Structure 1
Amino acid sequence: MYILFCLLLEALLTNSLIKEFQAIQNYLLIEIFSDDWLNMKIEVAENQVIMSEIAQDSTQYLQLYYKLKIGQQYKLDIFTLPDSNVTINEVPFRTCPNNCSNYGDCQNLECRCQIMTAGERCQFQVVQLYNKTQYSESLKSHQTIIIAAFYLQAQLLDDQDQTRNLQIQSSSSIDSKIYLLQPFEYPSQKLIQEKLIYDGQLLSIPVELDYSSKFEKYHIKASYYSFILVLKNTNSQTQDMVLKYQLLDNDQKFQDFILVAILSVISFIILLIIIYIVRRRCQYLQSTQIKENQEDQSENIVIQLMPIVNPVKDQDCVICLDPLDNRLCRQTPCKHVMHDNCLKQWIQKQLTCPMCRETLNDLEYVPRTFKSRNQTSNTFILSHQGQPIVQSDRNSVRSMIITRNRSSRLAVFQ
């Protein structure tokens, strides 16, 4: 509903001029005046409709020419704002736009502008900046301004006669074209592609411009070069722009390069240190896990070498304090009987008898290899692809125990 209302209001506020005529002159001249210029649409009909959208920058006057054929019938529709004044005339020849702005002269159908003006009608007054690094301006919608930043030749060159790059940025997004003009060249005549050094948007991120390919050394060292900035606000709203620019020292650029290189080397060294620490930590955890596995296997063999006995009635396990009846029990070398599960859990914590504190892996029938858990050939805890216990070594232990005479085996448990 709001869109329909706006369209209706625009239709009511828009003037439409319709003219049908037979051409008697060579040109059709349309002159438009407006205090606040906005877009305008013109339709010219000669067998077919020709449409053109017009938008001028910072101007209050415009002339449009259409080439005519004498004797041809034309129909002309013009849509303008109510504040705009429009005149339509047929003229025998085309002249310069009336009233070239800023004292421009009409020569050969073109406006010849003064030194610090520019544009087709000389409508732009060039802003001149000397020895400044910042400029502020409020740009209306679709407004264009031209700025000239002047530098002496000695300022553009360093001690080695190398050009110093120009760094420039803007507080808001602005379309820009930047030109480099030699001494005694002016924007009214020399804004051509050969002088262009940058074409794009200026943002808050600084842009570094290398203009060395466009620079030509002049024989007068006190002469001024000019960076011409053509800035345009393409947004539909007014923007407050703060422009910052400066010449960079080549020494500073080299120092920045050295700083970046040093920081890169330091970062690489820190990365290597982190990798080394992580690797050492992984190796430590892996070795710790292997040792724990070896200890577990050692404890399992110790418990397996203790015989299974019938539980004694009316006696309790010294570990869990539950009766020994009806549960699997084992006898330690010091002839104490305990539950099998309780004894396994006890051995995981320490290899001493819970009753008499006798060392369980230091008796005669237990091989001495259990005392050293890191031996290789004589130990029973070997690792092969995650399978620790070597069966042949276990059998050798058993055979060694079996081959003992009966009296020695019984003496162990007396």
Structure 2
Amino acid sequence: MSYINYISQFNYKYLSITINDCNGYNYPEIQNSVCVSMQCNCLDSYFGLFCQFQSSKIYSNVYNKLTIESNKWIYLYYELPTTNVELQTMNEQQDVFYSLVSEQTPQKTIPNLQNSSRLLSIVNIQEEIIISNADVIYIGIYNNQSEQIEFQFKIVTYYQDDQSIFERNRIIIIITVCAIATLFLFAIGISVLRTRKHQQIRKQVQETIRRNLNQQGFFDQQQQSNRVFDPAIYKGFQIRFIKDHFKAHYYDKFIQVYPGLSQFEECAVCLEQMKNANNKLQKICCVTPCFHIFHSICLQEWLLRQKNCPFCRTVYNRKKIIQDFPWIDIGNIQIKNTDSNYLCRIKNQIESVNDSRIELNQNQQSEQTNQLQEIKD
């Protein structure tokens, strides 16, 4: 094959270029370049004035094992996603240097010892990259020792976006934690205030009950106001028994199901409102087997001390309460004493106060007769 035919085939392969278009870069001996727009561009991994140097592509955050002969160069190229870049070696070497050059067309500069620096375990090259303002850099590493060396080398990239996201997430976490802590402390404060308020109400109820009982001669006038368990005082039912058989509901719920109970607007124990209560605790009420309604907390305090109704003084016993419970239907509970005429009247709101009192008196007489019968038995 003649020289002219060879050149013709070569030019056809590289977009029909001529020898002088790339200043002789495409001589038959040099086939690592291509001429584009009257400029010589080196093929991938090649660089230099005549594309005579070959380099290896390196990726970020991955260790690469490098082997460098004595007094020799090894070349790497790296595509820059960001300018915040570091060079790192796993084991620092003596007399090992690095040199950086940016990608150019044509590539007139290559890594050299004159512009090199000692390769440390960590080298930040951000400033050099900013100055070069390039998208691709060539890294030359030179072994200035008298023997071959092997070491681990990598490029570490820190993305500004990742750092900003991390900072933003950290700020969000801090704000969220502070908000949760504030809400938690606020909830604790509200809980403490409500507890104190309930304690004050309970204390008032206890004082009222003691005052009522003192008038009947059950307590000494010098009895202290603190609630201390004393068998001589607490002669009624146990608290667990009271809570199980005297179920608490809202006053409005009682009245909605049994409109006849609306005649009881005040609690007979503390003489405070149930219908227009000032707080949530005073809206929670209980109904006795004799169909009288009281504040739940008031009835509990009363039944802890004696086994009768605070309104009509009907005496209760465990057997009778267990047998009759539940005496009203709240919450779809099947009641047992459905044959009570008074119960039907308060549910249908057709009773009168006098009729209810007549039946209550009859109930009291019946209870007294039963008690006398039990005593005789």
TM > 0.5 fold call:
no
TM (normalized to structure 1)?
0.29
Query: Which structure: greater helix fraction?
Result: 2
TM (normalized to structure 2)?
0.31
Query: Which structure: greater strand fraction?
Result: 1
